[in-house]
Structure 1
Amino acid sequence: MRTLSEVPDGDAGESRPVNRGAFYRVCLPACCKRSDTHRDEDEDDGEEDTGENTVQKEKQPSCPGLGLMYSLLASVFFSIAALLVKKMEGMHAIQISAIRCFFQMLFVLPAMIYYKTGFLGPRGMRIYLFLRGFLGSNAMILLYYAVLQMPLADATVIMFSNPVFTALLAWIFLKERCTIWDVVFTVFTLTGVILIARPPFLFGGELSGIEGDYSSHIKGTVAAFSGAVGAACTMVILRKIGKRVHYFLSVWYYAVLGLIECVVVLFILDEWTIPSCGWDRWTLMAIGVLGIAGQAFLTKALQIEKAGPVALMRTMDVVLAFVLQFLFLNRKPTWWSLGGALCVISSTSGVALRKWYNSTRQKS
């Protein structure tokens, strides 16, 4: 360790004596905040002073609320993408999903080459990456199908119930703790789904406020619910993978497997159509770009902010879905939809707050 009477001189790393009093006169304003014995762990970031540099760069404080802002932007991008899917006419949900996966591949490929992540991943992680890509892409396809079959807000609400199922699946497969609160939140979520689906054996034969006939409505409900479970499985797999695999590689599997699956199913169903010129093609490209932007901002939010506040901010997806549905689709929400949305938002917010509280208490 160097004493305060020596400072580095130029690139050669030589030291020259300086007047101790002069040194204190120059450095006192920058160093008088606290002594070295009272430094915080946050300031030194756990790095030892090896003596090679006596002047260290201070850690730049992050902007308060930046993570929440990123989460809000992700919600905006995802909501607009769902709205554009709803506006598409004469195109199957699987084809829309295929085009989004194609654009996602184009955007993530240069990043993978730059970071040298490879295209297969570690041997022990490939099965998990495959399951992540397969289940994640299926969740996206089911969401788009639900959006085309039922009101936008209803599909978004049901799909947004995935955090509750994530907690249950983590208890089953990852042996995470499950409390009575998880059971309560699950009951609230299922109640919200029932209020939105409104099965005839509970609500009678005539239903108001649904889009199209009831068969399409129930198909959309089943698709959105299945997509929520698929998204929950994806979250459990991502927890299992942890930080052992680069994020771009996970997105790569998602895009490649989704594209392959969509193309195969489209040729089997013979539903492949060429989008018309003009608005439809621009809309499809916008869906792909917005989906990638939403994923990027959500990932960035989780990197700099705790999961609890981010999950709470994601409830804006539901709010934005109701607003966009009213403004651009001229559909007013029914009281049943609002009641179901309230149940689902309450349960997902409860899950987020409980995890946030537990993590804060453990750190303290």
Structure 2
Amino acid sequence: MTKGIIYMLIATFAFAWMNLMAKYLQDFHPIQVVFFRAFGTFVFIFPYMVVKKIPIIGKNVFWLSARGFLSFVSLALFFKVVQDIPLGSAVALRYTAPIFSVVLAFFFLKEKVKFWQWISLIIALGGAFIMKGVDFRIDTASFIFIMLSSLFVGGVFVIIRYLGSKEHYLTIINYFMVFSIVGSLLFVSKWRMPVGEEWLWISLIGTLGLVGQVFLTKSFQLAEASTVAPIKYMELVYALLFGFFLFNEMYGLWPIVGMLLVVFGMLLNIIIKRRH
């Protein structure tokens, strides 16, 4: 249990730094940043899969492909928003993804949703709209993009839940990498070559993404999801600190209230599910 919590703390720290690298790379097209993120992980995962004879294609090609496509689009939208609005706001708004996963699971997987779960989701969604309404740095296009990103992440959660033990977890991750790499290459005309210290940032974004993914997976393997999932919200704390100290991003009372409502709603949902 303790090791699972430590692993989740490491994962959130790695993902927080990955988001920071995406912010630093705001002079690059967000699709190119997605390529850096995916390729940096792919070069480690794919050879390991070949050596360990882990299935590359998998059995459920359609759903694996859907997972890969949705993850690619979601990450591209997220990186776009990270470049355009405060880092803490982007991370907080993307935490609405479980709202969509619960709704999609209700309709497509026929999972039962308790009354208080619906209330918790409404609270979190209300927090998101408060953030949009009171923080004028969050333009309408960015708000739409980040909510779409959350919707697609919610879809990814449901697909992974559907696949369950049908596929190796690295097979599922690898589809995300392959779709992101291939999809990014379609926009190669928008790219430019990194210079100077930018090479460090692009190297880190892929490496940190891999570290975060591995420790996140290990965390869920070692401890109950209801125990370690709330710790992932530490990522928002990191984002707020990075934004404040590195980008001079400050927040008034109501944007903070909105963020707290998002986090509270999602934590309440986890607590209610734990008591199932």
TM-score, normalised by the number of residues in structure 1? 0.73
| Paired position in structure 1 for 2:65 | 130
Structure 2 counterpart of 1:135, one-letter code: L
Q: CA deviation at 1:248?
A: 1.0
Cα separation, partners in 2 of 1:89 and 1:346, compared to 1, 3 Å: closer
Structure 2 residue matching 1:273: 3-state secondary structure = coil
Q: 1:82 aligns with which of 15, 19, 27?
A: 19
- Cα distance between partner residues in 2 of 1:90 and 1:342: 31
Matches of 1:240 and 1:229 in 2, distance apart? 17
- For the residues of structure 1 that align with 2:157 and 2:100, how far apart are their CA atoms? 10
Structure (1/2) with the larger helix percentage = 2
**Alignment deviations for residues 274-313 of structure 1 (CA, whole Å, 9 cap, x no partner):** 111x210110110010011101010000001101112111
| Equivalent runs, 1:22-41 vs 2, <5 Å | none
Q: Name 1:111's counterpart in structure 2.
A: 48
Whether 1:97 aligns to 2:34 is yes
The residue aligned with 1:149 is: 84
1-structure distance, mates of 2:96, 2:7: 21
CA drift of 1:73 comes to: 0.9
2:27 counterpart SS class:
coil
Q: Could you tell me how far 1:183 is from its partner in structure 2?
A: 1.8
- The match for 2:185 is 263
Report the 3-state secondary structure (helix = DSSP H, G, I; strand = E; otherwise coil) of the residue aligned with 1:345: helix
Q: Quick check: 1:275–1:281 contact (8 Å CA) kept in 2?
A: yes
**Amino acid in the other structure paired with 1:273:** R
Matched to 1:305, the amino acid is A
Q: Aligned partners of 1:83, 1:288: CA distance in 2, in Å?
A: 12
**Secondary structure in 2 aligned to 1:133?**
helix
**Which of 321, 340, 343 in structure 1 is aligned with 2:261?**
343
2-structure distance, mates of 1:154, 1:136: 20
- Tell me how far apart the structure 2 counterparts of residues 357 and 324 of structure 1 sit (CA, whole Å): 35
Which structure has the larger Rg over C-alpha atoms? 1
- Partner of 1:324 in structure 2? 242
Partner of 2:219: 301
Contact between 1:150 and 1:221, CA under 8 Å: does it hold in 2? no
Q: Specify which of 122, 139, 151 is matched with residue 187 of structure 1.
A: 122
2:186 aligned with 1:251: no
Q: TM-score, normalised by structure 2?
A: 0.96
Deviation at 1:118, TM superposition (A): 2.7
Q: Distance in 2 between matches of 1:81 and 1:239?
A: 25
Is this contact kept in 1: 2:121–2:269, CA < 8 A?
Answer: no
Note the C-alpha offset of 1:186. Answer: 2.1
Question: What's the RMSD between the two structures over aligned residues?
Answer: 1.4
- Alignment of 1:73 onto 2:10: yes
For CA contacts below 8 A with separation 6 or more, give which structure has more relative contact order.
Answer: 2
Q: Could you tell me how far apart the structure 1 residues matched to 2:31 and 2:174 are?
A: 18
| Percent of residue pairs bearing the same amino acid type | 26
How many equivalent residue pairs?
276
2:153 maps to 231
The answer to whether residue 208 in structure 2 is matched with residue 286 in structure 1 is no
* Residue 220 (str. 1) matches residue 158 (str. 2): no
Helix, strand or coil at the partner of 2:249: coil
Q: Distance in 1 between matches of 2:48 and 2:224?
A: 25
Q: SS where residue 248 of structure 2 aligns?
A: coil
Deviation for aligned residue 1:317 = 1.4
Deviations 1:149-189 (A, max 9, x none): 11100000010111222111111110000121222122112
Question: Is contact 1:139–1:231 with CA below 8 Å preserved after alignment?
Answer: yes
Partner Cα distance (2:24, 2:226) in 1:
33
- Correspondence for 2:131 among 179, 183, 196: 196
For 1:129 and 1:117, locate their aligned partners in 2 and report how far apart those are by CA, in whole Å.
15
Q: Does residue 1:357 correspond to 2:272, yes or no?
A: no
